[in-house]
């Protein structure tokens, strides 16, 4: 091999080294760029999640002040009437509910069983307040494993509160609330139907317009906002519908239907 | 036709284009580190004009101009890198090593009639260190997200290609390459065009970035 051939060989190697060096440089920079982009996305996602959680916390904590006020007024009423036993029972149930409320406010999810126990306590207090003007039935599908299935904390209670305060409250005769919990064919999915025989959502809206009441609108907005956040989180798939029973030829009152699927356990 | 006659228009042409482009766009770079590159190009152009005058008109065999270009322009490059790296220690080491290597070299070679290869070698190594320090710093900041829009990134690529070729071809393989002048001048032209091209592109990016 003569000198010229060696020179060309060295030059070829040199050119290849420069080209490979440049490729390596760009790959390094591109990898780092992608790494940073991914990190930024993860940070954004974490921040968004944090924001969602704080918003959910805030929404969970919105126990209607009217409920607390009315319950305390009712207890006061029983005390004034010297009905010690009833007032004691009322106070015990109320304090237990409050304790559960504060406990659950800090929790993202609870089991369906815990949620059912919570709404039972709530409805018991409402029953005392309305002096048995309210009755309720909770029907649980036998195939539904309430200890295994989860639900976003205090999901049903605000809907029951609407049924009591805006459905049955305006009714002259006594009212009934029915809560049906059913399993669906999909994994981790179940349906909750809350049915009352109150005045119905159409009349409630008319009534609110007359009295400039905004409580229903506000609580519905809070429910809708919370459901949006839960759906956006990717952990839940929740559909929600509210209908006046007279619109669907099913007597009077309001029917709320919730279909909940826990996606995080799938 | 001699290879030098073919390569020189490309070499001086790219140098002049970069210099004129830098002057025309001075307003975009006067407050940026790239202002040093205008000085770099100006010094190179002036010294090359004087060197060519002595070589062609006076028929002198003075090589002092090459040594002047090496020491002055590379010192300017060290200052340009300092603007990005803000590393005083590296700047002091780089300039000190350049000065010391020139002084040592002057004991063995005549400053006026010989190119200071060993000093140039030391300076090239220090410039490569500066380039790697810059790349390393860039990789650690969020600027890496838009690295293709950063003037210093492209200029550093031009500098590293130029200096790596100097180190490998002209110092390590010098005996081999000088056997064939055509290869020698082709390489120096290609890497010089890449260097001036990268400076031109860096200034263009400054203009685009505003």
Which of A18, A21, A36 lies at the smallest CB-CB distance from B142? A36
Q: How far apart are CA A168 and CA A196, in angstroms?
A: 7
Residue extents of the structural domains in chain A: 1-62, 63-265
Percent of chain B with pLDDT over 90: 56
pTM, two decimals, is: 0.62
Q: Please answer yes or no on whether B145 and A25 come within 8 Å at the CB atom.
A: no
In terms of Cα–Cα distance, which of B20, B33, B21, B22 is closest to B150?
B33
* B contact residues 109-148, partner A, Cβ 8 Å cutoff: 135, 138-139, 142, 144-145, 147
Q: What is the pLDDT of residue B21?
A: 94
Residue B128, pLDDT above cutoff 70: yes
Per-residue pLDDT of A100-151, as tens digits, reads 888 887 788 899 999 999 999 989 888 888 877 899 999 999 999 999 999 9
pLDDT band at B172 (very low <50, low <70, confident <90, very high): low
Instruction: Nearest chain A residue to B166 by CA: give it.
Output: A14
Q: Please answer yes or no on whether A21 and B164 come within 8 Å at the CB atom.
A: yes
Close Cβ partners of A239 (under 8 Å, ≥ 6 residues apart)? A257, A258, A259
CATH class of A63-265: alpha beta
Chain A contact present for B198, CB below 8 A: no
Q: Which residues in chain A touch residue B139, judged by CB atoms under 8 angstroms apart? A: 28-29, 32
Q: State the nearest Cα–Cα gap between B59 and chain A, in angstroms.
A: 31
Q: State the nearest Cα–Cα gap between B156 and chain A, in angstroms.
A: 12
First and final C-alpha spacing in chain A: 69
Tokens of B29: 């770079």
Q: Please answer yes or no on whether B139 and A22 come within 8 Å at the CB atom.
A: no
Chain B contact present for A206, CB below 8 A: no
The ipTM is 0.85
Residue extents of the structural domains in chain B: 3-209
Please tell me which residue, B209 or A184, carries the higher pLDDT value: A184
Q: What is the pLDDT of residue A211?
A: 65
Chain B contact present for A38, CB below 8 A: no
Q: Which residues in chain A touch residue B157, judged by CB atoms under 8 angstroms apart? A: 22, 25
Chain A contact present for B172, CB below 8 A: no
Burial class (CB in 10 A: 0-12, 13-18, 19+), A229: middle
Chain B contact present for A14, CB below 8 A: yes
Percent of chain B with pLDDT over 70: 94
Residue to mutate among B132, B137, B139, with most A CBs inside 10 A, is B139
Chain B contact present for A2, CB below 8 A: no
Average pLDDT estimate for A179-199 = 92
Please tell me which residue, A245 or A8, carries the higher pLDDT value: A245
Q: Please answer yes or no on whether B147 and A11 come within 8 Å at the CB atom.
A: no
Per-residue pLDDT of A48-65, as tens digits, reads 777 777 666 666 656 667
Number of Cβ within 10 Å of residue B37's Cβ equals 25
Coil vs helix vs strand at B2: coil
Q: Please answer yes or no on whether B176 and A22 come within 8 Å at the CB atom.
A: no
Given the structure tokens 């028929």, which residue do they identify?
B59
Do residues B160 and B128 touch, judged by C-beta distance below 8 A?
yes
Close Cβ partners of A262 (under 8 Å, ≥ 6 residues apart)? A109, A149, A150, A188, A189, A235, A236
């Amino acid at each position: 091999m003569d000198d010229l051939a060696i020179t060309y060989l060295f030059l070829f190697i040199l050119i290849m080294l420069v080209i490979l060096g440049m490729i390596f440089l760009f790959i390094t920079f591109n990898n780092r760029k992608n790494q940073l982009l991914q990190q930024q996305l993860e940070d954004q996602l974490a921040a968004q999640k944090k924001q969602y959680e704080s918003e959910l916390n805030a929404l969970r904590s919105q126990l209607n002040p009217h409920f607390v006020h009315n319950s305390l007024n009712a207890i006061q009423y029983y005390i004034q009437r010297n009905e010690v036993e009833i007032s004691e029972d009322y106070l015990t149930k109320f304090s237990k509910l409050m304790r559960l409320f504060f406990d659950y406010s800090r929790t993202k999810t609870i089991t369906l069983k815990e949620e059912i126990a919570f709404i039972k306590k709530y409805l018991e207090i409402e029953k005392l307040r309305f002096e048995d003007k309210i009755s309720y039935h909770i029907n649980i599908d036998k195939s539904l494993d309430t200890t295994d299935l989860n639900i976003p904390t205090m999901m049903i209670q605000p809907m029951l509160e609407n049924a009591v305060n805006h459905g049955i409250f305006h009714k002259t005769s006594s009212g009934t609330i029915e809560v049906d919990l059913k399993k669906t064919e999909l994994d981790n999915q179940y349906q909750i139907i809350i049915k009352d025989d109150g005045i119905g959502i159409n009349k409630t809206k008319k009534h609110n317009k007359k009295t400039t009441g905004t409580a229903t609108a506000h609580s519905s907005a809070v429910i809708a906002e919370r459901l949006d956040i839960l759906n956006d989180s990717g952990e839940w798939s929740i559909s929600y519908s509210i209908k006046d029973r007279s619109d669907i030829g099913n007597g009077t009152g309001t029917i709320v239907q919730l279909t909940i699927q826990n996606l995080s356990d799938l | 036709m001699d290879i030098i006659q073919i390569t020189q228009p490309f070499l001086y042409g790219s140098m002049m284009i970069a210099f004129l482009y830098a002057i025309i766009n001075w307003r975009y770079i006067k407050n940026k580190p790239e202002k040093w590159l205008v000085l770099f190009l100006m010094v190179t152009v002036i010294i090359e004009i004087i060197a060519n005058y002595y070589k062609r008109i006076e028929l002198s065999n003075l090589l002092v101009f090459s040594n002047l270009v090496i020491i002055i322009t590379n010192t300017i490059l060290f200052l340009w890198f300092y603007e990005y790296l803000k590393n005083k220690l590296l700047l002091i080491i780089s300039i000190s090593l350049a000065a010391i290597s020139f002084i040592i070299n002057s004991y063995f070679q005549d400053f006026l009639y010989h190119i200071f290869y060993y000093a140039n070698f030391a300076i090239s190594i220090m410039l490569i260190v500066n380039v790697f320090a810059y790349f390393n710093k860039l990789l650690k900041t969020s600027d890496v997200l838009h690295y293709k829009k950063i003037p210093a990134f492209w200029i550093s690529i031009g500098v590293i290609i130029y200096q790596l070729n100097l180190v490998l071809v002209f110092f390590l393989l010098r005996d081999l390459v000088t056997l064939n002048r055509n290869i020698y001048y082709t390489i120096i032209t290609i890497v010089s065009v890449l260097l001036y091209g990268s400076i031109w592109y860096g200034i263009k990016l400054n203009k685009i970035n505003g």
